[in-house]
Amino acid sequence: MADKKRKAAPVYFKMPMVSRDPVLSSAGKPLDPWAGIRAPSSTHSPHVELDGEHDGTSSAHPPQKKAKAPSERMKQFLRWAGRVQSTILEREEGPVYPVRCTAPCPSVITSEETVYRCFDCYHPPIECQSCVVAAHQRNPFHRVEEWQPALGFWQRRSLFDLGLVIQLGHREGPCYSSDPPRRTTIVHEHGIHSALIKFCECRKDVDEPSIPQPLQLIKFGLFPGSWRTPETAFTINGLRDYHLLSLQSPITAMDYVAYLRRSTDGVQPDEAKDRYRELNTAMREFTFLRSARRASQEPKEELPQGGLAVRCPACPQPGVNMAPDWDKRLDEDAYLDTLFYSVDGNFHHSQKMKPMDPNDAPLTKGAGYFVHEDDFAEYQARVKPPKKEDSSCNKFAALGHGRYTGRVSGIVGMTCSRHMFVIPNSLVDLVAGEGFAWGDFSQLSGLQPWLHVLKLLCRGYDVNCQYDVKFALRLAEFRRNFSHLKSVKTTHFPPTRSLIPKFHAAAHTVMCGVYRSYNYTPGVGMTDGEAAERIWAAFNALAIRTKEMTAGHRHDVINDFHSDMNVRRVHSMPQALAAKHRNARLQLADAANHLEAMESKIEDKATLQEWRRAEAEWECAVLDPAKHKKLRNPYLLDKSKGLTEKQLVDMMNRMREARKEQSIGPLGVIHQGLVLERQREQLLDELEGDNSDNISQGLTLRCGEYISRLAAWTTSRDTCIGPLINAAEKLVREKDASTDPHPSDAEPLSPSSSGTSSRVHRSMRIVPYLPPDLQNESCADSRLGPDFPFRDTQHDCGSIEKGLPPVRSPTGKSDLWQDVYNTTVLLPSAYDIRVLRQTCMQDMVKLEDELRRAQARDALDDLRTAIIGREAYKIQKKHVAGKKHTSRATFNIRNMEDDVREAANRYRRLRIALIALGMEESDDTFRLLWRGDVARYTLDAQHKVLGESSQSKPWIWEHYTYAAAEGDAQYQSFYDDGGYLLII
């Protein structure tokens, strides 16, 4: 073939090597080695950047990537999209003739000859047929394409159609066997191929047969679809890919084969061979081999009990992870060696009632997470079918109260409560329902490694209250009838703490939910008993596959799935346990501090000692269910001694009325100002809630009365407090003039101008002010500000998330709202701290400070009462029926939410006023009120919710006193201390 001159020669370029040290220009500035390879713009200018990632500074290193918002990322992409599309299409362009074939082939291909390229190779050369076949002897399943000049595109071809033959048994060179190649279907990770495979018939010795064909395939990297004369094989990498996808997605075998067929031929996928049945069989065999290899077990029919399962490395295993003298521990320390496990049923994993092989046994029989299938079959045949269990508490599905279909209605099994491992040899197939007999067999089989060893077990089961009633009788019957079963050798249980998982406790009676609570049982810690529910959440997605499978195949797939889950938990256990340990230490310290603070508020030490004695008695007796009926629970409130909401509200009203007694002089003026200040906020709240076009007449009259009262109060204020404020202001200005070379020209504010000034209404937005130490520094080094003599309030509003009262925006408000908003009540707290520090102001500051502290305590009282009312209405809503009653409860809840919001914001404004008067920011009594602090605190165990025991208690509930009933001697101090007892 003539060697002609090419029309266009390929251009190659190399990325610049980036040094760790900056390269300097002649001017001594570092050069940017990335400048020459930045992406050009759509105008092909080499100096215009498209993505804006570079800031124009020179650097010896590429700029660090910054996370972009999706909108910015898409805008960036659209600037690139046109050129990216053009570059992709360039890959589909045809060859430029003449084409020189790759070395050592001397051919120069003209337009009359066929050329090929590989779809899966990177930078694929354009080659002739013989060269492309020779180059893929080690990559026989790459997809090649043939250029069709008449059609103008690259068409997919098979290497085997071009003459490629896979030679087995020889790494190099041909096999001289006379047998012709066999057409074999190969299922690869990117498609289904029809390959030519030549098996080796060579023998090492005359008396020895040749290597079996299935083993030749495996040596090459193919897994045979059958074991006599394989006509289908799967690449081992493809089986690994599908195995991982099925565990993570989980994708069904049918969907995976459909994907492969579409990958083979996207136009007519049905033309590709269907290997769904063969894939199911091969995957079952392949995963069994992987499980045996991981467990160091020989893949055979009889395997050790649980030999293929992955056990929890953190649960007690004598001789493995327990102290050498663990069996000598005292009884009170037995919880250190306790196995915590949960029993639960799952009705998603059923099996359809359809024709299937009745003799199909699992490859993992007795070696995985199911009980030994042969032993359970005998047990199931001799035990009466489960019926609806009698219940004095609830009607869970575990008691047979449900509808069930299929050959298998679900499974019941055991999990490690603390580490979420499925316990080997514990899963049982259910028939018709979760009868107690099936739960018995699950525990007897799964607990075999521990029953004869450990001193204490802790079982979580959502029906433990009913399950325990005849548990001993069922065990005795099991010993009489099934002591010969090889998978169950020990049937005697050590002492077992039988508890109700926290999430299910709410569905039980108080006797069950509290006396069997994980919260109040010694030695349990923060275990919640709900590990099984978390496992089922991930496990249920597998049911769409397993319900269609035969019995043996179903067990093999489920065993493999649970092994994968357990393996992943082993890998993540160091980080998970370390995080739990850190959280536990923080929670322990927080709980200890909280308990110490609460006990320090109890003056009656005799009562405190009685409570401790009752708790100690509880911890000893609660472990024996026989004592529950006569055992007094110290964690349940005596509702007969709790104050009703009406009693609380009536007494608070009487206390408030007593506090509103008129006083003479500055105290009376400041007290009236505080009353007007609160009235102003209440009117603004009501006006914001009403339609500006439909304000009630009563509300209008109240606004007018407020403005009139404010005008009268302003006169009293100017007479009583105004001269003191003017004197203090004058002293500050004189001091500032003596130290400042440019004294302020501002004139003193006339007392009469402080009534309805539109400028000073900002002083009502009471928010965090500078702490005293910062205020001292600012006063010493700065001139008087433009707001003097008032304090700077430009940051006096913000987000509730930061503990600030909300911003009041005048936009869109009614004229009446504007009139009220533009008024102000000028109390000492509205003035600059330098004014308040003058000697003449000390008495005024002290009076307002005392009154505001009382108001702040009242605000916290109102906040706690509103939270109690809100939660009480929520409980009421759960126990009422009918639209009328639920609507009324919802209305009441919304009203209480408004009261909670109003009390919280009132407290926030009062706290900042106190800071303006000189209170420390770190004051322990009046702390910053975050959104998370405005929450319930349930003392009554009956109404606790899941997760509440691990949360920190809001500080607003730290100071309270127990009041037995109205009229108690302690009742007065109960209100004086500003505390409430949450009685819901």
DSSP, residue by residue, 751-796: GGGGSS-SSGGGGGS------HHHHHHHHHHSPPPTTTTBPP-TT-
Nearest partner of 460 among 532, 562, 540, judged by Cα: 532
For 276, the token pair is 């769904």
Q: How far is residue 88's CA from residue 91's CA, in Å, rounded to a whole number?
A: 5
Query: In a 10 Å sphere around its CB, with 0-12 CB exposed, 13-18 middle and 19+ buried, how is residue 930 labelled?
Result: middle
Q: Which two tokens stand for residue 289?
A: 């081999």
910: Cβ–Cβ under 8 A, 6 or more apart, which residues?
Answer: 766, 852, 855, 856, 859, 926
Q: Where do we find the tokens 């269609």? A: 548
674: left (phi over 0), alpha (psi -120 to 50) or beta: alpha
* DSSP 8-state class, residue 747: P
**Residue 796 has what pLDDT?**
67
As a whole number of angstroms, the distance between CA 239 and CA 837 comes to 81
C-beta atoms surrounding 977 within 10 Å? 15
**Contact, 125 vs 102, CB < 8 A?**
yes
Candidates 721, 682, 722; CA nearest to 699 is 682
Q: Which positions ≥6 away from 65 have C-beta within 8 Å?
A: 53
Distance CA 444, CA 425 (A): 9
3-state secondary structure at position 153 = strand
- What is the pLDDT, as a whole number, of residue 101? 87
- Report the interhelical angle of 471-482 vs 373-382 (nearest 10°): 110
What angle (nearest 5°) sits at the alpha carbon of residue 284, between those of residues 283 and 289?
90
Does residue 33 have a cis peptide bond before it, meaning omega lies within 30 degrees of 0?
no
- CA–CA separation, 309 vs 299, rounded Å? 14
For 396-463, give the DSSP string: -GGGT-S---SSB-EEEEEEETTT-PBPTT-BEEEBSB--HHHHHHHHHHHTHHHHTT-S-EEEEETT
Rounded to 5 degrees, φ, ψ at 406 are 95, 165
Question: For residue 821, what pLDDT is reported?
Answer: 87
Provide the 3-class DSSP secondary structure of residue 22: coil
Contact 423, 460 (CB under 8 A): no
Single out the residue of 420, 413, 422 nearest to residue 572, CA to CA.
420
> End-to-end CA distance of the chain, in Å?
97
pLDDT at 759: 35
> In which element (H, E) is residue 144 found?
strand 144-148
SS3 (DSSP) at 475: helix
Locate 464 and state its tokens.
Answer: 């433990």
Query: Under a CB-based contact definition with an 8 Å cutoff, are residues 530 and 342 in contact?
Result: yes
* CA quadruple 787, 792, 793, 799: dihedral sign: positive
* Cα 243 from Cα 560, distance rounded (Å): 10
> Which long-range CB contacts under 8 A does 599-604 form with residues at least 24 apart?
601/959, 601/960, 601/961, 601/977, 602/961
| Run of H or E including 592 | helix 551-600
Radius of gyration of the chain (CA): 41
Predicted local confidence at residue 648, as pLDDT: 41
Q: Which residues contact 526 (CB under 8 A, 6 or more apart)?
A: 584, 587, 949, 950
Longest Cα pair distance anywhere in the chain, in angstroms? 127
Give CA–CA dist 420/565, Å, rounded.
9
Residues 214, 220 contacting (CB under 8 angstroms): no
Q: Residue 140 burial by CB count (10 A; 0-12/13-18/19+): exposed, middle or buried? A: buried
Q: Which residue has the tokens 């362009």?
A: 93
For the purposes of burial, counting CB atoms within 10 Å of the CB of 316, is it exposed (0-12), middle (13-18) or buried (19 or more)?
Answer: buried
Sequence-distant (6+) residues with CB within 8 A of 583 are: none
Residues above pLDDT 70, as percent of the chain: 78
Q: Distance between alpha carbon 498 and the CA centroid of its chain, in Å?
A: 29
Contact 113, 130 (CB under 8 A): no
Distance CA 830, CA 762 (A): 9
pLDDT at 333: 87
Helix (H) or strand (E) holding 715: helix 697-720
* Beta-strand relationship, 99-100 and 108-109: antiparallel
Q: What angle do CA 804, 807, 811 make, to 5 degrees?
A: 175
Q: From residue 980, how far is each of 638, 647, 807 by CA, in Å?
A: 16, 12, 30
What does the block give as tokens for 875? 């409980």
| Beta-bridge partner residues of 77 | none
Beta strands per DSSP E along 149-246: 153-157, 166-167, 182-188, 191-198, 222-224, 232-235
Contact 458, 524 (CB under 8 A): yes
Distance CA 683, CA 676 (A): 10
**Rounded CA gap, 408 and 430, in Å?**
6
> How far is the C-alpha of 787 from the C-alpha of 881, rounded, in Å?
59
Residues of the chain with pLDDT under 70: 1-66, 172, 385-404, 637-664, 690-694, 740-783, 795-796, 937-952, 958-984
747 neighbors 813 (Cβ within 8 angstroms): no
Q: What is the Cα–Cα distance from 6 to 563, expressed in whole angstroms?
A: 60
User: For residue 66, what pLDDT is reported?
Assistant: 67
Q: Which residues, at least 6 apart from 527, have a Cβ–Cβ distance to it below 8 Å?
A: 340, 417, 418, 458, 460, 518
Distance CA 663, CA 453 (A): 78
Distance of alpha carbon 781 from the chain centroid: 50
Q: What is the pLDDT of residue 12?
A: 36
Contact call for residues 386 and 435 (beta carbons, < 8 A) = yes
pTM of the full structure: 0.67
What is the rounded CA–CA span in Å between residue 734 and residue 724?
A: 16
